[in-house]
Amino acid sequence: MISEVFKFENLTFLAQGLWVTVIIASVSIICSFIIGIALGVARSSKHKVFGKMAGFYIEVIRNIPNLLFIIA
């Protein structure tokens, strides 16, 4: 079964899949970096509303895996 996947005819499909994976990973890294910088700036802002909203979002995102572990 695995030998059929790595046949020469299928290598182009595997290369295309690898390329799509690299593109998706690169875009997600860039987007998460931008969102992280924006949240960090908002959290350390002098405006309390921005700081509280960013802090709430950060705490919710951080604790979702823990909540899923507790529920499951």
pLDDT for 26-71, tens place per residue? 999 999 999 999 999 999 989 999 999 999 999 988 888 877 877 7
| pTM of structure | 0.68
- The whole-number pLDDT of residue 3 equals 72
Out of 4-8, 19-23, 35-39, 64-68, least confident range: 4-8
Q: Using pLDDT thresholds of 50, 70 and 90, give the confidence band for residue 1.
A: low
Select from 39, 32, 34, 37 the least CA-distant residue to 56.
Answer: 39
Give the DSSP letter of residue 72: -
